[in-house]
Amino acid sequence: DQQVKQNSPSLSVQEGRISILNCDYTNSMFDYFLWYKKYPAEGPTFLISISSIKDKNEDGRFTVFLNKSAKHLSLHIVPSQPGDSAVYFCAATQTYGGATNKLIFGTGTLLAVQP
């Protein structure tokens, strides 16, 4: 049962353009969502997050949008840079009710930014 889905295994964009990575989830109990970035032979690193009480969170070139009714979130990178080339994982968790904040990850999207 894949509770967090990233349906695009890969994405290629030109440097300077916008990258949009998508993520869907099925569990309505999730109340916190995160994006992680992973380079080859390294562990994932936290990028940006959003609480379910918000619909947008921005940090520099990165913006995450959350549509709770559609159970969908997206990560926008503007402008895209070659150094952004990596695998991006969407993750979700339930933080209330004494939950352990276990992260449920999607399968990842490989972003390639072409110079």
Q: Which is nearer to other proteins, 44 or 75 (CB)?
A: 44
Q: Which is nearer to other proteins, 63 or 93 (CB)?
A: 93
End-to-end CA, the chain: 38
Contact residues: other proteins, CB under 8 A: 4, 32, 34, 41-46, 49, 51, 89, 91, 93, 95, 100-103, 105-108
Q: Which is nearer to other proteins, 103 or 112 (CB)?
A: 103
Instruction: Give phi and psi for 94, each to the nearest 5.
Output: -115, 120
For residues 50 and 109, what is the distance between their CA atoms, to the nearest angstrom? 19
**Residue 38 near residue 86, CB atoms below 8 Å:** yes
For strands 10-14 and 109-114, give the pairing: parallel
Closest approach of other proteins to the CB of residue 27, in Å: 14
Closest approach of other proteins to the CB of residue 78, in Å: 22
Closest approach of other proteins to the CB of residue 55, in Å: 17
